[in-house]
């Protein structure tokens, strides 16, 4: 215990020293009137010290890990932490059932299996999203049908969905990009008309709400990813959420190699098997089990989630207001009945922006400001999916957008530095047009 306290105090002391040094540098920079030129043009960089690294785990996570280790039950089957994490997820996000799995991709694939999507079926997928959304469809032998993005929200454009629907279509996967909610009313109405399943990809959207409901609980099934940059992280991991008991039962079987107990339910629902117990395998399933140690981290994250959510939402709102007011940039439109909890904060370089993305990224690197990037191409452009139409909105967003960190390690000083760095680069670019990398 003494060793831990000594190490913790030493690390905290280093952090405070770095914060003090950066604060003193920022004050001197302003007093010396060195805010006029970006570092790319020989000015003083906004930051002397790089931005603080994300620190997703604190005392609650460490305590939960120690409890799991002391219990010596690391198996998915006897791990109390996994069942506790599932129950806590369902309660926190307001749904009847939550199923912990090994990744966000596993969650999507499990949801597709539960929804009975099969070979040669078609699934509507946004043209702009992470590759896992479409890969999960292909894992099930189905065909992703891509739909362009809405230029305001950057999410799948509901007005283009119906033209992509065919007699083979079985599901729609709306993705809440960066945590900004899709138009779930329009998507739900389309799904009802065509008898389609709605599988929400809420990998970016833990804590975001639409009309007061948590994203991931609005469709028939919802999928979370708990990868390292997410609002809730277990390092890797994911979850499937649903209010439908039949879908949940199929998902539980599908993610555990299709294994069923004598009465047809999941073996995890039975406390004891006698020597005569006969398991059965009624469907092709996969091993997507979450470990007890991952679940323990998730429990610690849920203990702190109100704080995590409020900081991310506040940081995103700050950047939305400040960057949205700068000429040459555009931010995502958020519907009046939606409340985003940002995974990252993206902005778009518009046609009249004096910088292209390459030069902006170069400039932000000189300012020691962290950035996050999307894919450079719509998914349909990749060889693995084949070219299937043109997606001009997604193309423009992929090629000209940049993301900024909003995790709780980012404070008001870092947010102000981000805005200052971007503003200086834009002003410098307008004074030196044409400016291209």
Catalytic, out of 29, 176, 230, 405: 230
386 Ramachandran zone, left/alpha/beta (phi>0; psi -120 to 50) = left
| Distance from the Cα of residue 57 to its chain's centroid | 17
For the CA atoms of 86, 222, 399, 166, the dihedral, rounded to the nearest 10 degrees, stands at 150
Q: Sheet containing 329-331: which strands, arranged edge to edge?
A: 329-331, 345-349, 401-404
**CA distance linking residue 34 with residue 104, whole number of Å:** 45
The residue to which tokens 């702009």 are assigned = 128
CA distance 256 to 266: 8
Of 193, 178, 182, the residue nearest 125 (C-alpha): 182
State the DSSP H helix or E strand holding residue 71, giving kind and residue range, or none if neither.
helix 59-71
Mark whether 6 is an active-site residue.
no
DSSP string of 289-347, one letter each residue: BPPHHHHHHHHHHHHTHHHHHHHHHHHHHHHHHHHHTSTTEEE----TTEE---SSEEE
Instruction: Please state whether the peptide bond connecting residue 276 to the residue before it is cis, i.e. omega within 30 degrees of 0.
Output: no
Q: Where is 348: in which H helix or E strand?
A: strand 345-349
At 135, list the tokens: 């890969």
Closest CA to 171 of 192, 147, 197, 145: 197
Rg of the chain on CA atoms, in Å:
23
Which 3 state secondary structure label does DSSP give 231?
coil
Distance of CA 414 to the CA centre of its chain: 21
The torsion angles phi and psi of 239, rounded to 5 degrees, stand at -155, 150
Q: Give me the half-sphere count of Cα atoms (radius 13 Å) on the Cβ side of residue 296.
A: 23
Which residues form the catalytic set?
230
């Amino acid at each position: 215990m003494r060793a831990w306290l000594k190490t913790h105090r030493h690390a905290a002391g280093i952090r405070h020293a770095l914060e003090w040094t950066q604060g003193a540098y920022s004050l001197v920079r302003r007093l010396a009137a060195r805010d006029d030129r970006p570092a790319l043009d020989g000015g003083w960089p906004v930051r002397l010290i790089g931005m603080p690294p994300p620190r997703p785990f604190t005392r609650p996570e460490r305590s939960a890990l120690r409890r799991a280790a002391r219990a010596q039950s690391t198996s998915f089957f006897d791990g109390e932490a996994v069942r506790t994490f599932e129950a806590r997820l369902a309660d926190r996000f307001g749904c009847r059932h939550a199923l912990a799995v090994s990744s966000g991709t596993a969650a999507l694939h499990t949801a597709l299996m539960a929804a009975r999507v099969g070979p040669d079926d078609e699934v509507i997928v946004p043209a702009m999203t992470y590759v896992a959304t479409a890969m999960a469809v292909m894992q099930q032998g189905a065909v992703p049908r891509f739909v362009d993005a809405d230029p305001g929200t950057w999410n799948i454009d509901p007005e283009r969905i119906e033209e992509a629907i065919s007699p083979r279509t079985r599901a729609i996967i709306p993705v809440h990009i960066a945590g900004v909610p899709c138009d779930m009313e329009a998507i739900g109405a389309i799904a009802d008309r065509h008898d389609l399943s709605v599988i929400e990809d809420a990998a970016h959207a833990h804590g975001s709400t639409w009309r007061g409901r948590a994203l991931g609980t609005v469709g028939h099934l919802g999928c979370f990813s708990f990868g390292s940059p997410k609002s809730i992280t277990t390092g890797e991991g994911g979850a499937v959420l649903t209010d439908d008991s039949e879908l949940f039962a199929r998902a539980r079987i599908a993610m555990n190699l299709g294994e069923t107990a004598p009465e047809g339910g999941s073996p995890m629902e039975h406390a004891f098997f006698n020597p005569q117990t006969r398991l059965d395998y009624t469907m092709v399933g996969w091993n997507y089990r979450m470990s007890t140690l991952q679940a323990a981290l998730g429990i610690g994250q849920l203990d702190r989630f109100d704080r995590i959510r409020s900081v991310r939402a506040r940081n995103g709102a700050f950047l939305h207001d400040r960057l949205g007011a700068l000429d040459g940039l555009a931010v995502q439109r958020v519907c009046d009945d939606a409340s985003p909890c940002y995974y990252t904060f993206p902005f778009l370089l518009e046609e009249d922006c004096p910088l292209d993305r390459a030069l902006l990224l170069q400039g932000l690197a000189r300012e020691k400001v962290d950035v996050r990037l999307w894919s450079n191409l719509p998914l349909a452009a990749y060889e693995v999916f084949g070219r299937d139409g043109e997606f001009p909105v997604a193309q423009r967003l992929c090629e000209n957008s940049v993301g900024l960190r909003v995790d709780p390690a980012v404070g008001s000083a870092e947010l102000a530095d981000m805005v200052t760095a971007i503003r200086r680069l834009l002003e410098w670019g307008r004074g030196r047009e044409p400016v291209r990398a």
